[in-house]
Structure 1
Amino acid sequence: MSESITVRGFVASEVRRHDTHSGDELATFRMGSTERRFNRQQNTWEDGETNWYSVSCFRGLAKNVAVSLNKGEKVVVHGRLQIRPWTSSDGRAMTTVGIEALTVGHDLMWGISGYRRVTKDNPIPWIAVQTPDPESGTSDPWVDRETGEIQEGNEIAETEDAESGWEQGTNAVPGEDLPELSEETEDAVRAA
């Protein structure tokens, strides 16, 4: 089956990067999409059933997804629906529902996002493609993977490779200037 589908939901797993047998890049993640219903009797919103998808992204999309998405973020995925029956080790008939993504983006209904065009002249920032530290699983060994907090005694300014700590209003990507924001945008960011 190869039908087009667009799904709004959330990233339910960490994005994993792989290489295919032909050498192409592949990024995969699990995605959940939960229906929301309004209960008129209680005047509240309630969660309905959650549909689960295995999302696969190839080549350039795989690279961009791997550095852009994090577990828990709201996303919109458009691609080809793939329904695959299979048999479990105990002989039960199972079905996997997947999406071969053609495009992926943050769902701006729930937050804001920035865009940066990636080209040969303007590649993915070096900090985003660093090899993760095997012990912490992050590119930043001073970051606690569970909480995202900087570990005590390992502040950024104390690390050998950091030239200076991050200050509000500065860009994390060296050599790039931050765009000026309008008052309306700044108010929207403060309200979020």
Structure 2
Amino acid sequence: MNETIVCVVGNVATQPAYRELAAGPSARFRLAVTARYWDREKNAWVDGHTNFFTVWANRQLAVNVAACVEVGQPVIVQGRLKVRTEQREGQQQWTSADIDAVAIGHDLSRGTALFHRAAKPEAPPTANRPEPNWETPRQTDPQETPEPQEAATALAVT
């Protein structure tokens, strides 16, 4: 509920690693995000610091990432930011910034893309489940006067 949602624009730094897990498909890749700023002294755009994020995708998003995301492509990633600090035995403490992706797309300000809708998984047969009756039966009251449209229809029929 109180999670940090981020939208990050950068370049894919590693080939997406795709895995089929018990919980469903999963994919991850590294995203390089470099700040750019205008240097007045050089009168040119200059690259600033580069941040690297590990982007995690699950389920259908993972399948789609594995199919169409490649190293070097500019992408936009929206998701939940998770910063982890760990220390393993015999190693220095390290920190990683992960994004649990909700949406990933190509940055169309830097190129073009062709969209293909993913095939939906086959739905289970509905033969055993009857279609619900969504209509609410109208209550009729003998004292109720028909609506003007219903009255016009009634006059046309008689």
Q: Which stretches in structure 2 are left out of the alignment for 5+ residues? A: 122-158
Equivalent residue for 1:62?
Answer: 62
Structure showing greater Rg: 2
Equivalent residue for 1:14?
Answer: 15
Deviation, 1:91, is 4.2
Equivalent residue for 1:99?
Answer: 99
1:113 aligns with 2:113: yes
User: Cα deviations across residues 132-178 of structure 1 (Å, max 9, x unaligned)?
Assistant: xxxxxxxxxxxxxxxxxxxxxxxxxxxxxxxxxxxxxxxxxxxxxxx
Task: Give percent identity, aligned residues only.
Answer: 33
In 1, Cα distance between equivalents of 2:82 and 2:12: 18
User: Cα deviations across residues 65-119 of structure 1 (Å, max 9, x unaligned)?
Assistant: 1111100000000000011110034342211110000000001111011111112
In 2, Cα distance between equivalents of 1:104 and 1:17: 15
Correspondence 1:95-174 to 2 at 5 A: 95-120=95-120
In 2, Cα distance between equivalents of 1:62 and 1:81: 17
In 1, Cα distance between equivalents of 2:90 and 2:47: 32
Larger relative contact order (Cα-Cα within 8 Å, sequence gap ≥ 6):
2
In 2, Cα distance between equivalents of 1:17 and 1:108: 24
Q: How many residues align?
A: 120
Secondary structure of the residue that 1:65 maps to in structure 2? helix
Deviation, 1:43, is 1.1
In 1, Cα distance between equivalents of 2:82 and 2:22: 20
In 1, Cα distance between equivalents of 2:110 and 2:120: 31
In the superposition, the TM-score normalised over structure 2's length comes to 0.72
**Which structure shows the higher strand fraction?**
2
In the superposition, the TM-score normalised over structure 1's length comes to 0.59
Structure 1 vs Structure 2 CA RMSD: 1.5
In 1, Cα distance between equivalents of 2:85 and 2:31: 19
In 1, Cα distance between equivalents of 2:93 and 2:22: 28
In 1, Cα distance between equivalents of 2:21 and 2:6: 24
In 1, Cα distance between equivalents of 2:72 and 2:103: 18
